[in-house]
Amino acid sequence: MSDPSPAIDRKTMTQSGDEITEAWEVARERLMKEFPDKKEGILFCIWKLRQDPRLTLTDFRDEANLRGVPLGGRSLHSAKVALGMEEPSKRRRSDRATHGGARVHAAARTTTADSTRTPRSGSSSDPDALEQQLLANIAMIKTAASGESQRLKEAVREAIRILQNALGD
């Protein structure tokens, strides 16, 4: 008869029923020994992926924030590579390698003639276009702020739910 507890085995990725219920603080200590060269954000992603390999960063980003775990942009990918779920991505050459050790910035390329230009006079469509661009930018900022507000509300609700579960309500 098969064992009803969840079990996943992919190279270094193993999971037991106890690990799912294990607290992050305990898991972090164990994972630091198992993956000594990995940062805390990557370890957190490993912990979450061992609970459910289908999770995405958006599924647990709020929980990481509540726990004070910093997640970098490549934390999830690095965790999947450490667990053998993905292949390492190819690194692209940096600006330094491309430009012989000196990064070329757009600001460094501007000339004094560019910085002393004045707006064209006599063009009546420029203020209208500028106003339209400004209004479009304001609408985009409002939309982004609304989405962030919703994510924060959801994070607070989740934190309250976790606390209520911990208190046994």
Kindly report, residue by residue over 65-92, the tens digit of the pLDDT: 888 899 887 889 999 999 998 888 887 6
pLDDT tier, 114 (very low <50, low <70, confident <90, very high otherwise): very low
Question: What pLDDT, in 10s, does the model give residues 128-150?
Answer: 888 888 888 888 888 878 778 88
Q: Which one is predicted more confidently, 126 or 11?
A: 126
Q: What is the pLDDT of residue 169?
A: 61
* 138 within domain boundaries: yes
Last residue of a domain, one of 63, 90, 117: 90
* 59 within domain boundaries: yes
pTM of the model: 0.44
Are 6 and 62 found together in one domain?
Answer: yes
pLDDT tier, 22 (very low <50, low <70, confident <90, very high otherwise): low
Q: Which one is predicted more confidently, 2 or 41?
A: 41
* 113 within domain boundaries: no
Are 84 and 16 found together in one domain?
Answer: yes
DSSP-derived secondary structure for the chain? ----S---EETTEE--HHHHHS-HHHHHHHHHHHSTTS-HHHHHHHHHHHH-TT--HHHHHHHHHHTT----TTHHHHHHHHTTSSPPPPPPPPHHHHTTT----HHHH--HHHHT--PPTT-SHHHHHHHHHHHHHHHHHHHHHHHHHHHHHHHHHHHHHHHHHHHT-
* 78 within domain boundaries: yes
Structural domain range at position 23? 1-90
* 158 within domain boundaries: yes
Q: What is the pLDDT of residue 132?
A: 86
Are 11 and 78 found together in one domain?
Answer: yes
Q: What is the pLDDT of residue 16?
A: 46
Task: Count up the domains in the chain and report the number.
Answer: 2
Instruction: Report the chain's mean pLDDT, rounded to a whole number.
Output: 74
